[in-house]
Amino acid sequence: MTPMHLFSPLALRGVTLPNRIVISPMQQYRAEPDGLPNAFHRQHYGRLSLGGPGLLFTEALAVTAAGRVTNSDLGIWSNDHLPGLADSGRIVREGDGSALISAEDVRARHLTLEHA
């Protein structure tokens, strides 16, 4: 029988995940107009981390204001975004898992299509 690895740790470079359960990036469209997180994001990432995933990807974080899919996307184009995002990251760490950010810039896609 194939051994079950889902609940065994996984070492990735300097980080050891407590298990191999991964939450995919899932856009929530609930950020403030300037891309800042709010109380929703604390609760959302807190609730997800309660399940004990080894790794949690954030929803896409826009690296520029112009690169957002919608005006309600979370941003990471300014230092002002960092405290709120770090807050959600801390909540995930309290649950023993790790958080990875995922980033978006839809302008890159537009440029690719224009030049295809």
Judged by CB, which is closer to ligand FMN: 25, or 46? 25
Q: How far is the CB of 69 from ligand FMN (least distance, A)?
A: 8
Judged by CB, which is closer to ligand FMN: 10, or 69? 69
Which residues are at the interface with ligand FMN (CB under 6 A)?
24-27, 59-60, 102
CA dist., res. 82 & res. 111, Å (int): 28
CA dist., res. 32 & res. 68, Å (int): 13
Q: Report yes or no: 64 and 105 within 8 Å, Cβ to Cβ.
A: yes
Q: How far is the CB of 5 from ligand FMN (least distance, A)?
A: 18
Q: How far is the CB of 70 from ligand FMN (least distance, A)?
A: 11
- Closest C-alpha to 20, from 33, 31, 10, 34: 10
